[in-house]
A and B are shown apart, each in its own frame.
Chain A
Amino acid sequence: MKIAKKSIKFLTIALVALFSATIFASDLDKKQDNHKDGGEVNTQEEVTAYIQHHLKDSHDFTFFSYTSSEGERKHFGFSLPVILWSSEGLVTFMSSEFHHNDDGHVIVEKNGLKFAKIHSKIYELDNGAATVSFDETHHATNAHKTLDFSITKSVVGILFAAFLMLLWFSKLAKQYKTRKVPKGFGRVLEPLVIYVRDEIARPNIGEKKYKKFMGFLLTVFFFIWILNLLGLTPLGFNVTGQIAVTVALAMFTMVIYLFSGSKDFWAHTLWMPGVPVILRPILAIIELAGFILIKPFSLLVRLFANITAGHFVVMSLIALMVTMKEAFGPVASTGMSLALALFIMVIEILVAFLQAFIFTMLSSLFIGMAVEEHEHH
Chain B
Amino acid sequence: METLLNDFSPGLFAMQIVILLILLFLMKKFAWKPILNSLEERETGIEEALEAAENARKEMQNLTADNERLAKEARAERDAMMKDARDIRDKMISEAKEDAKEVTTKLIENAQASIQQEKQAALAELKKNVAELSIGIAESVIKKELSSKEDQLALVEGILKEVELN
Contacts and interface: CB of A to CB of B under 8 A. Distances in A.
A169 B35 contact: yes
A49 interface: no
B142 interface: no
B12 to A, nearest CB: 4
Contact of A249 (B20, B28, B34, B39): B20
A46 B61 CA distance: 81
Contacts of A152: 9, 11-12
Given A149-B11, A244-B8, A214 B27 contact: no
Interface residues of B, number: 31
A333 interface: no
Given A148-B9, A165-B23, A218 B32 contact: yes
Contacts of A252: 17, 20
Interface in A88-130: 121
Nearest to B25: A215
A214 B36 contact: yes
A193 interface: yes
Contacts of B20: 158, 219, 223, 248-249, 252
Contact of A158 (B16, B28, B39): B16
Range of interface residues on A (Cβ < 8 Å): 35 or more
Interface string A179-198: 01100000000100110010
Interface in B21-51: 22-24, 26-28, 30-36, 38-39, 42, 45
Contacts of B13: 244-245, 247-248
Contacts of B45: 180
A346 B23 CA distance: 30
Contacts of A245: 12-13, 16
Given A162-B23, A244-B10, 9 more contacts: A147-B10, A149-B15, A151-B15, A159-B19, A162-B22, A172-B31, A181-B42, A244-B9, A249-B20
Interface SS majority for chain B = helix
A351 B94 CA distance: 102
B4 interface: yes
B24 to A, nearest CB: 5
Contacts, number: 117
6 contacts: A56-B7, A148-B9, A152-B12, A166-B31, A193-B39, A215-B32
B14 interface: yes
A155 B19 contact: yes
Given A170-B30, A248-B20, A155 B8 contact: no
A243 B4 contact: yes
Interface of B: 4, 7-17, 19-20, 22-24, 26-28, 30-36, 38-39, 42, 45
B12 A244 contact: yes
Contacts of A166: 23, 26-27, 30-31
A218 B32 CA distance: 8
A150 B11 CA distance: 7
A176 interface: yes
B119 to A, nearest CB: 112
Interface string A235-268: 0000000111101110110000000000000000
Contact of B31 (A151, A159, A173, A211): A173
Nearest to B23: A162
Contacts of A223: 20, 23
Contacts of A218: 27, 32
**Most chain B CB neighbours (cut-off 10 Å) among A152, A165, A219:** A219
A169 B26 CA distance: 11
B11 A147 contact: yes
A247 B8 contact: yes
A194 B30 CA distance: 17
B71 to A, nearest CB: 43
